[in-house]
Amino acid sequence: MLTSKTTTQSIIDVIPNPIVITNGEDISMCNKNFLDFFAIDSLDDFLEKNRCICHKFEKKDKHFSLDILNNRDLWTEYVLMSEEKEKVYILNNKQKANIFHLEVEKINGNYLVVMTDITADEENKFLEKLANTDHLTQIYNRQMFDKLYLKELENLKRYGDTLSLIMIDIDRFKKVNDTYGHNVGDNVLISLTKLISKNLRTNDIFARWGGEEFIILLPRTDKATAIAKGEKLRKLIENYKEDGLPKITASFGVTEILNSDKEQCTFIRADKALYKAKTRRNALAQL
């Protein structure tokens, strides 16, 4: 280990993070903060029910757990070689959940595992996502779209970038709900969202505008390019098939955002284009 066992214990006890020393299978030492997290008096108390800290990693979301390893792999080696800091979800003895980043260092054949509590950061990220994301489709909601729109509008005015907008409305969506039920209707919205998302650039801004209406903001895109993009998406939707879902079509309204636009002019123009397309159904119109 580092030096003598007593010296090592003294060193790790002053570190504010929970720490264990392990060979990858058995824990040989831990610090006071580790004991405090699990509300136990000694390492022996922990070892009565758990051979290693890795057995406390819960399988949850994208957090690291033993399930992702091959049987012969040491979890410590996996974390040590990982390009990113692995996150783990752990319940203490009082069933309190915490999320930790793991850092592993190899020392004299053993592994020093440092656990950094990021629970508060993860909760803040979750709350931020909740506030900015449509709960059904998991894309941006209208509130977040408005924020990003203002940012792109500033780029347009400052740098002279081109900027275009596409409004999308699913044709006869009320008939889908009335005929197949709202669960199927929800699945249609989710599938359409995934289909469109796969065919957008990383800098395109896609949001649910409300109900069966969606909106796409296309930075550095002129109207001709936006029309071509809209037409491609329209055809993808028209030709899309998925077991258990009815076939749908959608109408598109396209416009380019101008420096001279005042307040809601852009959205009014896009909405008029969409209305024009809706009169023909499964069409694209531009203004």
On the CB side of 203, CA atoms within 13 Å amount to: 8
123 catalytically annotated:
no
Whole-number pLDDT of residue 24: 92
Choose between 129 and 102: higher pLDDT: 102
128-147 per-position pLDDT tens digit: 888 999 999 999 999 999 99
Residue 2 pLDDT exceeds 50: no
All structural domains of the chain with their residue ranges:
5-122, 133-286
Q: Residue range 150-178: average pLDDT?
A: 94
Of the candidates 123, 212, 238, 256, the residue annotated as catalytic is: 212
Which superfamily, per CATH, for 133-286? Reverse transcriptase/Diguanylate cyclase domain (3.30.70.270)
pLDDT for res 128: 86
Please give the residue that has the higher pLDDT: either 4 or 189.
189
Architecture of domain 5-122 in this structure: 2-Layer Sandwich (3.30)
Q: How far is CA 182 from the centre of its chain?
A: 25
Residue 69 token pair? 């390893």
Determine the pLDDT at residue 44. Answer: 95
Classify each residue of 210-241 as buried b or exposed e, where b means 16 or more C-beta atoms within 10 Å of its C-beta: eebbbbbbbbebebeebbebbeebbeebeeee
Mean pLDDT for the chain overall: 93
* Residue range 202-259, pLDDT digits in tens: 999 999 999 999 999 999 999 999 999 999 999 999 999 999 999 999 999 999 999 8
Tell me, what's the pLDDT at 3?
58
Q: Where are the beta strands (DSSP E) in 48-197?
A: 86-91, 97-107, 110-117, 163-170
Higher pLDDT, 122 or 271: 271
Q: How many Å apart are CA 115 and CA 220, to the nearest integer?
A: 43
DSSP state at residue 271: H
Say whether 133-286 and 5-122 share the same fold: no
Q: What is the pLDDT of residues 8-65, one digit of tens each?
A: 899 999 999 999 999 999 999 999 999 999 999 999 999 999 989 999 999 988 899 9
Which pLDDT does position 273 carry in this prediction? 96
For the ranges 95-99, 111-115, 190-194, 231-235, which has the lowest average pLDDT?
Answer: 95-99
Residue 40 is predicted with a pLDDT of 94
pLDDT greater than 60 at residue 1: no
Q: Residue 245: what pLDDT?
A: 96
Query: So what's the pLDDT on residue 92?
Result: 83
